[in-house]
Structure formats: C-alpha cells, structure tokens
Amino acid sequence: MQDKNTTKTTFFQLFQPVFQGPGPQYIDDKGVDKYVKKLDAIKSFQLLSHAQLEQCKGLRDISNSLNNGQLSQSVGLESISHSQISRRLNTMPTDVFQLIFEDLIKHAGTKMGFEKIRNDLGRIYLIDASVISLCLSRYNWAVYRKTKGGVKLHLRLRLFEQGVLPDHAEITPAKPSDRSQMDNLVVEEQDAINIFDRGYIDYKKFDDYCENGVRFVTRLKSNAVIDVQQELQVAPGSTIERDCIVTLGGTLTKMKHPVRLIEVIDTEGNPITIVTNDLSMAAEEISDLYR
C-alpha cells in the first residue's frame, strides 16, 4: 500500500461492503457514536485495518499514518492524536467490530460460493492457536513463561477451494491449554469436519464427539497409548503406511469409542500419525486434509 493512488483505490474498494452492510445502522441504533466528534466507529475500523495492513507498531504510527494525504482523504480525517485513538478504543464496544466481521465473512462467503465448496466432504474447518507475545513488565496479568507474557489467539478457519476465511476467534491468556477452548471452536454439525493440532487432544471430548457424530481429524502425540483393534487394508503403492482401528488412552484415560489411526510420511520424509473418527473416508483423503 505504498503507492498513494493504490491506497485510495484499495480503501474505496475494501470498505464498500462495510459502508453498505448492517454496521452503520447498528452504530446509529446503539448510539455508539453519540457525542463523538472526530473518530467515529467506521473511521476507527478503517484506521485499524490500515494499521494491520501496514504493520504499524503502535498508536503513534497510526496517528502519523494520516500524514499521507490520500489516506487522510479516504478516511475523512485530517489528524488524530495517539491519545485520542487510545481513549476511543477504550470506550468502543467490541460487538460493533464483531458485527462488521460477521457480515464481511457472509459477504465473502457468498462471493466464493458457500454451497459449492467440497460438497462431497462437507464443511471443512481448520482450528489452531498462536501465542502473541507481550512485554511482561508492562502486562503483568499476561504471565506465560517465567520471563515472558502473552495472549493466545485461537482461530477457526473455513476451507474453500480458493483459500480460507476466518470463521471464529477466541482470545485468551496464553497459559491455559488449547483444549480449554474446544467448546467454543469445534463445529458440532454433522456435515462439518474439524481439523486441529495436537494441542487440542482431549480423549473425553473425543468420546463425546464420537457419540454425537461430530467429525474430527488431528495428529496424535508420540507418547499416546494405543490398543490396535483391527488392521485395515492399504493399497499397494499408496502414500499411507498404515490404516487401523484403535482405542486410545491408558487405564484411567481409555476412550470408550474406537477411532481410526493413519500413519503417513510427510513431504519432508517424517512420519505422521493421524487419528479421526471418520471411518468411511479414504485414508489418502484424510491424510491430504490434515497436511
């Protein structure tokens, strides 16, 4: 976004769905901008979006970005101090941005074709978490390690042929385990497949998913206790090393329901062990989904 004309064009194109969506009406109905003279909710959203695209490091950078005349004209804001931005963000109700986010996802999904995506497999969701580091001396509530602070972004993405779209997000302290957020992230409709990493492994939850027809695919930890119930046939020349039905867990954690274990070699030659409760899908297809 370095070119001035590109900045203007990008902003006009980028924010048209925001201007035309339910956000402005919601803002009016809720009185979000009541008594606000300069930095209204939509302008705040535009500035924060630009800051994300330009990777601004702080509120001063956001304030200084309005020195770009084209950006200032596009947003409709000549100047704003970093302290004014801070005060506005502290009082801004977050449900405004959530509404805009949800409407944009719906708009983008319509453009990409919700109903045309992998109808044979159902809706595919990718779930993962990332730690965002924070200065511990400044944010002492965000203890993560002895000398590190942070928060954790749990993100659910929906997979499309053209790419992925963010579908849901949870922000938590970094220290609690990933699996503490499974109830908020796993899609329980039976036409959905949830794909997540080892941090979300929870045998009790897996049993619940098996009982309720909630499909999942994940990677198994190397120290997992496995009891093989049945070996399944693997086609000659397949990329699949092993396909079998197993039960997981030791004496105190043993699952009640069997799951499927698939061993495959990744593109770097490393072995990967995948588990799923989908017993009908081809092993190669499950492997491709996870990778």
Residue 16 token pair? 């048209």
> At how many degrees (to 10) do helices 94-112 and 4-20 cross?
100
Residue 198 token pair? 């080892």
Decide which of 105, 136, 156 is a domain's last residue.
Answer: 105
Mean of the pLDDT values across residues 35-63? 90
- Residue found by looking up tokens 């799951």 in the block: 259
Of the pLDDT bands very low, low, confident and very high (cuts 50, 70, 90), residue 140 is confident
Name the more confident of 22 and 208.
208
Please give the Cα distance from 76 to 43 (Å, whole number).
Answer: 8
Mean of the pLDDT values across residues 46-64? 91
Count of residues making up the chain? 291
pLDDT for position 159: 82
- Residue found by looking up tokens 């209204």 in the block: 40
**DSSP tag of 114:** G
243 Cβ contact partners less than 8 Å away, ≥ 6 residues apart: 231, 232, 233, 234, 260, 261, 262, 263, 283
Please give the Cα distance from 117 to 132 (Å, whole number).
Answer: 32
- Does residue 189 share a domain with residue 122? yes
**What is the distance, to the nearest Å, from the Cα of residue 134 to the centroid of all Cα atoms in its chain?**
20
- Does residue 89 share a domain with residue 13? yes
Instruction: Please indicate, yes or no, whether the overall pTM of this predicted structure exceeds 0.85.
Output: no
Decide which of 78, 105, 132 is a domain's last residue.
Answer: 105
pLDDT for position 114: 55
Task: Count structural domains, the chain.
Answer: 3
Please give the Cα distance from 15 to 63 (Å, whole number).
Answer: 20
In a domain, 137, yes or no: yes
- Does residue 226 share a domain with residue 182? no
Q: What are phi and psi for residue 168, nearest 5 degrees?
A: -160, 145
In a domain, 111, yes or no: no
Domain that holds residue 245: 219-291
Instruction: Supply the mean pLDDT for the chain.
Output: 87
Of the pLDDT bands very low, low, confident and very high (cuts 50, 70, 90), residue 4 is very low
pLDDT of 192-231, one tens digit each? 999 999 999 999 999 999 999 999 999 998 899 999 999 9
Mean of the pLDDT values across residues 96-119? 71
Helix (H) or strand (E) holding 276, with range, is strand 271-276
pLDDT of 60-92, one tens digit each? 999 999 998 888 888 888 999 999 999 999 988
In a domain, 283, yes or no: yes
Mean of the pLDDT values across residues 16-26? 81
- Does residue 53 share a domain with residue 24? yes
